[in-house]
Amino acid sequence: MQQTYHSDAMAAIHETAEAMHRVGALSKQTMRQFDDACLTTVRPFNPEDIRALREREQASQPVFARYLNVSKNQVSDWERGIKKPNGTALRLLTLVYHKGLAIIA
């Protein structure tokens, strides 16, 4: 899975840290700290956030669902507050929020 970083600088720092970890210069614990500092954290989405995100990307529920690899009923349930996105869907929503729908196209 491709990782998303706060910035290009953080991506470069993380890449260097990973290389140092591979050769044994950084411990596993230190690498976890770099992960926490560099990687984009998943944000929670309420029903209004999901609808606003979908509308910002000018996608219908079926099209948005297709991009996220979920059913259109799932998107509808999220937007009505019946269910909450989690796991991979939550990560994808966070990516779309930060980078736009084209990032997962």
Token pair for residue 18? 């990973």
Would 20 be classed as within a structural domain? yes
Q: Which residue has the tokens 């979908």?
A: 54
Q: Specify the pTM.
A: 0.67
**CB-facing half-sphere around the CA of 36: CA atoms within 13 A:** 6
What is the pLDDT confidence band of residue 3, given thresholds at 50, 70 and 90?
low
Once rounded to an integer, what is the mean pLDDT over residues 11-28? 86
- Stretch 56-82: mean pLDDT: 97
Assess if residue 72 is contained within a domain: yes
Beta carbons of 71 and 65 less than 8 angstroms apart: yes
Both 64 and 83 in a single domain? yes
33 and 53 housed in the same domain:
no
The answer to whether residues 90 and 60 belong to one domain is yes
In total, how many domains does the chain have?
2
Q: Which residue has the higher pLDDT, 65 or 27?
A: 65
Which residue range is the domain that position 22 belongs to?
8-38
Dihedral of alpha carbons 56, 89, 14, 31, sign? positive
Alpha carbon dihedral 16, 87, 102, 62, in 10-degree steps, equals: 170
Q: Are residues 14 and 63 in the same domain?
A: no
Q: Are residues 78 and 97 in the same domain?
A: yes
Dihedral of alpha carbons 7, 8, 14, 17, sign: negative
Asked, for residue 1, whether it belongs to a domain, the answer is no
Q: Are residues 60 and 92 in the same domain?
A: yes
Q: What is the CATH number of the domain that holds 98?
A: 1.10.260.40
